[in-house]
Chains A and B, each alone.
Chain A
Amino acid sequence: MTNKKGYWRANLRLVFGCMVVWFIVSFGFGIILVEPLNNIRIGGYKLGFWFAQQGSIYVFVALIFFYAWRIGKLDREYGVAE
């Protein structure tokens, strides 16, 4: 028995969660909070600068694969897989 409505709601929750992370690492850490974060250093990197030029991109990659993995599980749970 497939439950398309429940699947869609679960998908929206997952997408929303991922979008929050997407926003925080780029717009949050990379732009809005860049000045306070620049007071923290990892090696030669100021942390805000690192998020803007390196960290956000790594998180984006991880986020897409995380989404693909979780939504694949939901596909099977709700019986809507291909």
Chain B
Amino acid sequence: MTLQTLTYLVVGATFALYIGIAIASRVDSTNDFYVAGGGIHPIANGMATAADWMSAASFISMAGLIAFMGYGGSVFLMGWTGGYVLLAMLLAPYLRKFGKFTVPEFIGDRYYSKAARIVAVICLIIASITYVIGQMKGIGVAFSRFLEVDYNVGLAIGMAIVFFYAVMGGMKGITYTQIAQYCVLILAYTIPAIFISLNLTGNPFPQLGLGDTLVGTSTYMLDKLDQVVMELGFAEYTTNARLSLTNMFMYTMSLMIGTAGLPHVIIRFFTVPKVKDARSSAGWALVFIAILYTTAPSVAAMARLNFMQTMEPEPGQYMKYEERPSWVSNWEKTRLLEFDDKDGDGRIRYSADPEVNEVKKIDNDIMVLANPEIAQLPNWVIALVAAGGLAAALSTAAGLLLAISSSISHDLLKGVFKPDISEREELLASRVAMAGAIGAAGYLGFNPPDFAAGTVALAFGLAASSIFPALMMGIFSKRMNKEGAIAGMVAGLGVTLLYVFQHKGIMFVASTAFLGDLPANWFFGIEPNAFGAVGAIVNFSVAYAVSATTARPPEHIQDLVEEIRVPGGAEGATGH
């Protein structure tokens, strides 16, 4: 059977599974649609959260980024996992006790203000839409690369699948498909990693293989890697910091608090039965995430070493172009890998010096996608990687779309414009909003705006500087009032947007970047992607200053804060 047929079969089988789950989990109440009836087991919710959280970027791009950044790539590993500690201790249990459907709903009630709720909806929609564009692109790319169908056709198929289970099943349908998607993506990620680790180090655990010796020698894998990258003039793998330690500190912090403040992750914790389940469910989510996140650095280092040794099989002897391995010529066809034999000696010289370097282009994504071929694994593993990439993109897109549609139908429509709407009408509205959100995300996937690449970082910056501080102060400070919270959110958001735009251009149009994208102009050398943490500090400071000079929140709000701080007496999530 050809690889093509096999890939169609494996991907087709996973899609049939998702549709089957969708039919089995249709819903007929808003409670089911928004929070899956609040009856999801904490371990199941942890698995769904892991799939929801790990996007096409985690699955396909992250190991490739780390492979070329070395130690500097640690910001993603620590940043995207450490946020769950904050979530488990500072937000999830209290928001679950509050027991409503959406994140803006908490902000609106806690700050007794429709204005605060609307500001939160705006932050949520901007953060989630920017995020979902990346997923839509991931779906189109995965289809076109593995199934050799047109990007637009692939995107349309992906949208149809998400439409089917998200509109029909809401949070319930999404939760059960995410559990299936987690299983697909984690198998697709770990199987090639285990074989690569076995090939290189003889250790079946990639996490241990990374610190082990190479097969048949007493040289440690990482020492060998450091040695070969430095011979070609690259920075030492295990110590290469990203810009500076200050920048790494702020970048990690921004990703951590951004993670804890992303609404599509938070609402997953509204689906478990009890407050104590919200706590343990965050732990389970991190267990399932850590399986991939502790494997990723091994995949990164081993793929980099394999690549280096392909390029330079013997010290000083570069790869002969005519004798290149088949995976190299396969990926050349996709133009993700390009060579240019400048001196015409028939060998491809790889070097950190751009003058003599003949590897014209090497896309980060190859590091994960080509792994099965490099390790010479059977075709079904390659097919599984295709299905895994699609599962990662689909599950994250669905979670984001639910966060968007529930904030439209529940926060804007029921909460602000038409409070007397019946439950049946609201359920219909939420399905229409879901269909609309899929349509809008699809449109942006078909016509990716120029700024798409920069926007995922913006999503984290927004969540870190606006939503996270507002939620945390709403729980931990009884004194925080609506004036303080709104001023804080606007100030945090404003500072972050201003900093990103002044260096990256307004809406990422580079020519409008009035301070230039130059490290010399950066505040303490902090890159724009890492600025969310500074925005959060501004948010906290402004909020405290403003609330100290304005009236205390009313008595019933202070009682509400007392109430959410203790687990006892939690009701099932309800909109009434």
Answer yes or no: A81 CB below 8 A from chain B CBs.
yes
A72 vs B568: C-alpha distance when bound (angstroms): 11
Given A15-B90, A27-B252, A44-B220, A34:B567 Cβ within 8 A: no
Cα distance A17–B213 when bound, in Å?
37
Question: Which B residues are in CB contact (< 8 Å) with A31?
Answer: 74, 245, 248-249, 252
The residue of chain A having its C-beta at the shortest distance from the C-beta of B73 within the complex is: A53
Inside 8 A of A40's CB, which chain B residues have their CB? none
CB<8 Å pairs between A and B, sample of 26: A2-B568, A7-B565, A8-B566, A15-B90, A31-B74, A43-B211, A44-B211, A44-B220, A44-B223, A49-B74, A52-B77, A54-B297, A57-B294, A58-B294, A60-B85, A64-B88, A65-B280, A67-B89, A68-B88, A68-B280, A75-B567, A79-B568, A81-B568, A82-B275, A82-B276, A82-B567
Assess the B221–A34 pair: CB atoms within 8 A. no
Q: Number of B interface residues, CB 8 Å?
A: 49
A7-B566, A43-B220 given; A60·B81 CB < 8 A: yes
CB neighbours of B85 from chain A (8 A): 18-19, 22, 60, 63-64
Nearest Cβ distance between residue B424 and chain A, in whole angstroms? 31
9-residue interface stretch from B31-39, B107-115, B285-293, B437-445: B285-293
Assess whether A4 is interfacial by the CB under 8 Å rule: yes
CB of B126, distance to nearest CB on chain A (Å): 28
Nearest-Cβ distance from residue A41 to partner chain B, whole angstroms? 9
Instruction: Verify A44–B569 contact, CB threshold 8 A.
Output: no
Chain A 34-62, CB-CB to B under 8 Å as 1, else 0, gives 11001000111110011011101110110
Contacts of B74 in A (CB 8 A): 30-31, 49, 52-53
Given A19-B89, A81-B568, also A57-B81 (CB < 8 A): yes
Q: For A4, what are the chain B residues with a Cβ–Cβ distance below 8 Å?
A: 562, 565-566
Q: How far is the CB of A29 from chain B (nearest CB, A)?
A: 10
Q: How large is the interface on A (under 10, 10 to 19, 20 to 34, 35 or more residues)?
A: 35 or more
- Which residues, 1 to 39 on A, are CB-close (under 8 Å) to B? 2, 4, 7-8, 11, 15, 18-19, 22, 26-27, 30-32, 34-35, 38
Cα A57 to Cα B78 with chains together (Å): 7
Closest to B89 in A: A15
> Which residues of A are at the interface with B, using a C-beta cutoff of 8 A?
2, 4, 7-8, 11, 15, 18-19, 22, 26-27, 30-32, 34-35, 38, 42-46, 49-50, 52-54, 56-58, 60-61, 63-65, 67-68, 71-72, 75, 79-82
C-alpha gap A11/B212 in the complex (Å)? 41
Q: Which of A22, A26, A43, A80 contacts B566 (CB 8 A)?
A: A80
Question: Could you say which residues of chain B place their CB within 8 Å of the CB of A80?
Answer: 566-568
Chain A residues positioned under 8 Å from B213 (CB to CB):
44
B210: interface (CB < 8 Å): yes
**Across the interface, which residues of A come within 8 angstroms of B78, CB to CB?**
26, 30, 52, 56-57
- Closest B residue by C-beta to A27: B249
Which residue of chain A has its CB nearest to the CB of B213?
A44
Q: Pick the 5 closest A-B CB pairs, nearest first.
A: A44-B220, A52-B74, A64-B283, A45-B211, A68-B279
Asked whether, in the complex, the Cβ of B222 is within 8 Å of the Cβ of A60, the reply is: no
Q: Report how far A25 CA is from B569 CA in the complex, Å.
A: 36
Q: Does B430 contact A (CB under 8 A)?
A: no
Interfacial chain B residues near A75, Cβ < 8 Å: 276, 567-568
Instruction: Tell me the smallest distance from the CB of B576 to a CB of chain A, in Å.
Output: 20
Interfacial chain B residues near A18, Cβ < 8 Å:
85, 89
| B46 CB to nearest chain A CB (Å) | 10
Interface residues in B56-114 by Cβ distance below 8 A to A read 66, 71, 73-74, 77-78, 81-82, 84-85, 88-90
* Residues A43 and B283 in contact, CB atoms below 8 Å apart: no
- Tell me the complex Cα distance, A61–B222, Å: 25
Residues of B near any A CB (own CB < 8 A): 66, 71, 73-74, 77-78, 81-82, 84-85, 88-90, 207, 210-213, 220-223, 238-239, 245, 248-249, 252-253, 274-276, 279-280, 282-283, 286-287, 290, 293-294, 297, 562, 565-570
How far, in angstroms, from A49 to B237 measured CA to CA in the complex?
10
Instruction: Take A44-B222, A60-B286, A67-B279 as given contacts and tell me if A49 and B562 are in contact as well, using a CB distance cutoff of 8 Å.
Output: no
In whole angstroms, what is the CA distance A32 to B239 when docked?
Answer: 13
With the chains together, A68 CA to B249 CA distance in Å?
A: 27
Contact A82–B286 (Cβ < 8 Å): no
Contacts of B212 in A (CB 8 A): 43-44
Contact of A67 among B88, B211, B562 (CB under 8 A): B88
CA distance A72 to B207 in the complex (A): 32
Nearest B residue to A7 via CB reads: B566
Cross-chain contact of B207 among A22, A32, A54, A68 (Cβ < 8 A)? A54
A64 with B282, Cβ < 8 A, contacts A7-B566, A80-B566 known? yes
Give the chain A neighbours of B238 by CB distance below 8 A: 38, 46, 49
Min CB distance A5 to B, Å, is: 9
Residue of A nearest to B93 (CB): A71
Are A54 and B294 also in contact (CB < 8 A) when A30-B74, A38-B239, A44-B220 are? Answer: yes
Beyond known contacts A57-B290, A64-B283: 9 more, CB 8 A cutoff: A8-B565, A43-B220, A44-B212, A44-B222, A45-B222, A58-B294, A68-B276, A72-B276, A81-B567
